[in-house]
Amino acid sequence: MISAKSIHRRLIVRLLAAWLAISLLIGGIVFFMKMRDVDEFVKNLTFNETRALLDDKKDYINSTNPKDLDTLKKMMAEHIMKGHFVLVELYDKSKNRIVDFDAKGSEDVENYIEKHKETHILSYKARYNRFYFEKNIYIQIFLPLYDKESNLIGHFEGVYRVDAKTTKDITRSIILSLLQVVAAMLAITIILYPIILSMDKDLIKLSRDLSEANVGMLETLGSAVAKRDSDTNAHNYRVTLYAVELAEAMGLDAGEIMSLIKGSFLHDIGKIAISDNILLKPGKLTEEEFSVMKTHVGHGYDIISKYNWLKDAGDVVKYHHEKYEGTGYLSKLKGGEIPLNARIFAIVDVFDALTSKRPYKEPFGYEKSMQIIEEGRGTHFDPQIVETFKKIAKKLYDTTSTGEEAFLEDTLHKFVKKYF
């Protein structure tokens, strides 16, 4: 049964996953927009300083007087010492480099640019690109220079380093924005949780009712077949209890155990289709009668396979009379071909037949029953499962084999509650 607890857990997991996904998505968009703002901001910083740097120097660029060039170099060097440019190159209109200035300590970034970036792009359009190097933001700028009459008079190429405080402010602003997104999404998730949970209440109740109806139907079907050849459900209860205990000892997961419970309780459901003169015959069945009796596994499978919720009981219903060496019926499967739940059930079904009273025999004691199980190891039964069964068989024999029907029913209901 889907419990309220598991629905709450699933809801929390899904809401957290949604929170994470939306935070990543919106965080990504915010980050992208922030970076666009940063780009614009540092681009403006760079262009403003470039403008200030070149403002009063354009007249000197194409001068043929060597003194003018010296003055230009001197003026630029002075300006660069005070500003943020770490690399500066100036070209005249004939694309001759007339100024090449590297700020002190800029060797590393210069090497990095040589290796990873384009340089000396002397085109008619301004270009810039932003990059990070050793925790600093840099802007590389390529700028064609024009006079007042819009004639090209040269080219400027520079690398601008955003100062540490500005870089820190930018980084802090980006982190703050992302944290705000994450916090806002978390707040929305927390607000949504009780709203969705309250909507889930009806779903939980519906799911419980459905599960109870399914279990009730399982018991009704099991009782229906038990009434055909016995007065009580005791055999069905016992084999189901044995099977669950054995499966738990083998470490099967909850889903497999749930299928095993259904299969065990309904293992002989196909006997509904066997006529009374064969099913209730007091003496030994003839060969022909026995071959009819064998068909109960197929009839059982036909009955349960039509209902989706019961389909997984099919392994036990269809294959519980298979034998490990391949001599069982009806499919004559061998060893591992026989589904695990059917191999488990085969042992407990025989164990219950041995330890119970039948019209043709008194119950066998524990020792004799286990001796017969042991003899069937590797021929009738899976030897590994027999090994595990031997560890728990005495406890099962003492607590369950002689238990009253009411006690067995009660115990089984505890398992049903645990697994459904």
What contacts 47, CB < 8 A, 6 or more positions away?
Answer: 141
Check: CB of residue 390 under 8 Å from CB of residue 249. no
Distance in Å, CB of 296 to Fe ion, minimum: 6
Check: CB of residue 147 under 8 Å from CB of residue 153. yes
Of 170 and 225, the one with the shorter C-beta distance to Fe ion is 225
Residue nearest to Fe ion (CB): 268
Of 185 and 342, the one with the shorter C-beta distance to Fe ion is 342
Task: For residue 204, give both structure tokens.
Answer: 């939980």
- How far is it, in rounded angstroms, from Cα 185 to Cα 26? 9
* Residue 280 DSSP code: T
Whether the ω angle into residue 330 lies within 30 degrees of 0, i.e. cis, is yes
Distance in Å, CB of 336 to Fe ion, minimum: 21
* Residue 124 DSSP code: S
Of 185 and 225, the one with the shorter C-beta distance to Fe ion is 225
Of 80 and 310, the one with the shorter C-beta distance to Fe ion is 310
Of 23 and 259, the one with the shorter C-beta distance to Fe ion is 259
- How far is it, in rounded angstroms, from Cα 262 to Cα 142? 77
- How far is it, in rounded angstroms, from Cα 257 to Cα 245? 10
Distance in Å, CB of 320 to Fe ion, minimum: 6
Of 49 and 268, the one with the shorter C-beta distance to Fe ion is 268
Distance in Å, CB of 209 to Fe ion, minimum: 32
Q: For binding to Fe ion (CB under 5 A), which residues are involved?
A: 268
Distance in Å, CB of 321 to Fe ion, minimum: 6
Per-position DSSP letters for 54-109, written without gaps between them: HTTTHHHHT---HHHHHHHHHHHHHHHHHSSEEEEEEEETT--EEEEEE-TT-HHH
- How far is it, in rounded angstroms, from Cα 17 to Cα 196? 15
> Strand order in 152-161's β-sheet?
97-102, 85-92, 152-161, 136-146, 127-133
Of 245 and 268, the one with the shorter C-beta distance to Fe ion is 268
Distance in Å, CB of 294 to Fe ion, minimum: 9
Distance in Å, CB of 251 to Fe ion, minimum: 26
Of 61 and 266, the one with the shorter C-beta distance to Fe ion is 266
Distance in Å, CB of 323 to Fe ion, minimum: 13
Task: For residue 123, give both structure tokens.
Answer: 């085109």
